[in-house]
Chain A
Amino acid sequence: MALLEVRNITKIFGGLVAVRDLSLDIREGEILGLIGPNGAGKSTLFNIISGFIVPNKGKILFKGESITGLRIDQIAQKGIARIFQEPTLFMQETVFENVLSGFHRHYTQPLWKVFLHTPRANSEEEDKEKKAAEIIEFMGLSTLSGELAANLPHGHQRALAIAIALATEPALLLLDEPVTGMNPTETMEMVGKIKRIRDKGITVLIVEHDMKAVMSLCDRIVVLSLGVKIAENTPADIRKDEQVIEAYLGKQVI
């Protein structure tokens, strides 16, 4: 069953058509790769799904329900988490506080109980702290738990961004270039983690330029070029697809 349905999305910036009449499905429990040369519209599609950009035409359905035109926080509340391409973290906070912030939508205690620190509000807080520690351990950041996010090296900042997204306990996780700028060892480690995230029942949509990572991670791959979907298949078949090779390398090479 499709968890997220993109239906005939078109987005025009000025005179430039970033995405043209694009439709695709993300099936529940899969890792779907989104690839394409620069300017293909991958990031635009990401921003449309997560609510940062409103499409000119078309609809996005999440669990069969339209989420087009909702605010960023409303879409997050539905269970769609995203990480940004550039490191976007609460830099002046510790790793632990960063992850704790991610649980925001799962706090249920009303304001007056928070005011009075009632036992239930306290146990809710403890429960979140425990879960945050688990996520930090899962992402391999345990030893850095008290460190400020700003002080982390690039690879760990990436891991932290994913940890924050996991704390929102999403149904769909959107990853924008999660392994870009990592060395091969770090990349393979991250690939392993993303697979384990999927095994937890979280559907993953991933944009990535690192072909090795994409090929070993994804169940299916969608290829965009100039805002149009040119292929949608398994990694093995995508590799052989002539249109894809053409889009990436240009015609004369073939």
Chain B
Amino acid sequence: MKPPTSWKPIHKKLAAAVILIIVFAALPIFIENDYIKHLLIMACVGTILGMSFSMLFSTGLISLGAGAFYAVGAYISASLAMNAGISFWLTFPLTIIISSILALGVGAIFVRNGGIAFVIITLLFASAVVIAAGQIEFLGGWGGIIGIPRPTALGPIQFDSKMSYYYLILIILLLVVLAYYALYTSHIGRAWKAIKLSPNLAGTLGINQYSYRLLAFTIASTTAAAAGSFYAHYFQTVTPGAFSGWLSIYIQLYAVLGGLEFYVMGPAVGSLLMTFIPEYLRIIKEFEPIVTGVLLLVVILFFQGGILGTIVNATKSNGKNNGQGIHSIRSWLKKGKNTGVRES
């Protein structure tokens, strides 16, 4: 019989992602404007954060606290740099280690609850992190931590231009993409999806819902913290205000806008659009948030698969039902409290 070909589409996607990253690597050569380079950097950070949201979504969990570990990572990195006086090249791996331990501890409690409970818990956690950072004197209070050093020079490479930061975040993004793809294409990624699609069937295949969700939570949170570490050394300032509740909503929008079923490309597309469209709408500055808001509403209400989902569905020649599943938060909510809890 013919060999199974189910792994091939995913390799095609991976190839597309690599080409995209090469395109983005060449971009700053053509861009003179530092502000646009800054926007590109923030789009990369947004992509990483959106991907961390998508990882939890791939297990059927919606997190409104995606920004929480971003803040945790930024603060860990900032405190390490300011108090221990170590450079980014040490604070970055240390942040990853410390935040993964924190995520494991916090996640062990959070992940016990699925559905709406998890949404609320993560939302509250994100708020708690911001308030805690504002209240703790050691973390600079509401004024935050200022004067975080730039990454020290790596041989001839100085981190004094937007260009150098851009390449740094691009490499981090590339590593995250590769690691995420390796996971999504493995039995671990399949187990996550299994939990989302049918908790009961997943259980009868020996998949422990709790531990696989905890694994996703830990990896996703650690990734967000890594992005936070970059943020701290890029902005050289961290304040609680930068991590307000809106941040988590925005991160979620990156993923929803791009397409929730596209765990890597979705957040990338969403984050690029969400970073650049508002900037170009600034011509009518007062109305900018309104226009952005309406655009988002239109996408969420009428293009449920997100931008990529709509494109993919439109290009599929046969018009039959190609498994319109959990493409949108709306259908996810309709599924209700299907968390695979034992009925007894």
Contact mask for chain B residues 321-344; partner A; CB cutoff 8 A; 1 contact, 0 none: 111011000000000000010111
Interface membership of A64, Cβ < 8 A: no
Q: How far is the CA of A137 from the CA of B207 in the complex (A)?
A: 25
Q: Chain B: interface residue count, which band?
A: 35 or more
Residues of chain A within 8 A of B205, CB atoms compared: 73, 76, 101-102, 104-105, 164, 167-168
Closest A residue, CB atoms, query B191: A104
The main secondary structure of chain A at its interface with chain B is helix
Interface membership of A72, Cβ < 8 A: yes
Residues of chain B within 8 A of A149, CB atoms compared: 323
Q: How far is the CB of B60 from chain A (nearest CB, A)?
A: 12
Docked-complex contact A101 and B342, CB < 8 angstroms: no
Contact mask for chain A residues 120-162; partner B; CB cutoff 8 A; 1 contact, 0 none: 0100010011001100010000100110111100000000000
Contact mask for chain A residues 62-101; partner B; CB cutoff 8 A; 1 contact, 0 none: 0000000001111011000110100011111110110011
Docked-complex contact B198 and A96, CB < 8 angstroms: no
Residues of chain B within 8 A of A81, CB atoms compared: 204
Q: Which of B32-40, B166-174, B178-186 contacts A (4 or more CB under 8 A)?
A: B178-186
Q: Which of A2-10, A47-55, A208-216 contacts B (4 or more CB under 8 A)?
A: A47-55
Contact mask for chain B residues 239-252; partner A; CB cutoff 8 A; 1 contact, 0 none: 00000000000000
Interface membership of B5, Cβ < 8 A: yes
Residues of chain A within 8 A of B320, CB atoms compared: 151
Residues of chain A within 8 A of B197, CB atoms compared: 90-93
Residues of chain B within 8 A of A94, CB atoms compared: 6
Closest B residue, CB atoms, query A150: B323
Residues of chain A within 8 A of B203, CB atoms compared: 51, 71-73, 76
Residues of chain A within 8 A of B200, CB atoms compared: 52, 72, 84, 88
Q: Which of A25-33, A108-116, A181-189, A190-198 contacts B (4 or more CB under 8 A)?
A: A108-116
Closest B residue, CB atoms, query A129: B4
Q: How far is the CA of A94 from the CA of B340 in the complex (A)?
A: 22
Docked-complex contact B194 and A132, CB < 8 angstroms: no
Q: How far is the CB of B300 from chain A (nearest CB, A)?
A: 20
Residues of chain B within 8 A of A92, CB atoms compared: 197, 323, 325-326
* A interface residues, tally (CB under 8 Å): 53
Residues of chain B within 8 A of A168, CB atoms compared: 204-206
Interface membership of A57, Cβ < 8 A: no
Contact mask for chain B residues 6-35; partner A; CB cutoff 8 A; 1 contact, 0 none: 110000000000000000000000000000
Q: How far is the CA of A82 from the CA of B200 in the complex (A)?
A: 11
Q: How far is the CB of A115 from chain B (nearest CB, A)?
A: 5
Docked-complex contact B3 and A146, CB < 8 angstroms: no
Q: How far is the CA of A103 from the CA of B344 in the complex (A)?
A: 28
Closest B residue, CB atoms, query A114: B186
Interface membership of B63, Cβ < 8 A: no
Docked-complex contact A132 and B193, CB < 8 angstroms: no
Interface membership of A117, Cβ < 8 A: yes
Docked-complex contact A51 and B342, CB < 8 angstroms: yes
Q: How far is the CB of A61 from chain B (nearest CB, A)?
A: 19
Docked-complex contact B7 and A72, CB < 8 angstroms: no
Q: How far is the CA of A145 from the CA of B5 in the complex (A)?
A: 9
**Within the complex, which residue of A89, A104, A115 is in contact with B207, where a contact is CB–CB below 8 Å?**
A104
Docked-complex contact B190 and A104, CB < 8 angstroms: yes
What are the 6 A-B residue pairs with the smallest beta carbon separation, nearest first?
A72-B203, A92-B325, A76-B206, A105-B206, A92-B323, A96-B6
Q: 5 interchain pairs (CB within 8 A)?
A: A72-B204, A72-B340, A90-B194, A101-B190, A104-B194
Spell out B's residues near A (CB within 8 Å): 1, 3-7, 179, 182-183, 186-188, 190-191, 193-194, 197-198, 200-209, 215, 320-323, 325-326, 340, 342-344
Q: A71-B203, A145-B4 are in contact. List 5 more A-B contacts (CB 8 A).
A: A74-B206, A90-B194, A93-B197, A116-B182, A146-B6
Spell out A's residues near B (CB within 8 Å): 50-54, 71-74, 76-77, 81-82, 84, 88-94, 96-97, 100-105, 107, 111, 114-117, 121, 125, 128-129, 132-133, 137, 142, 145-146, 148-151, 164-165, 167-168
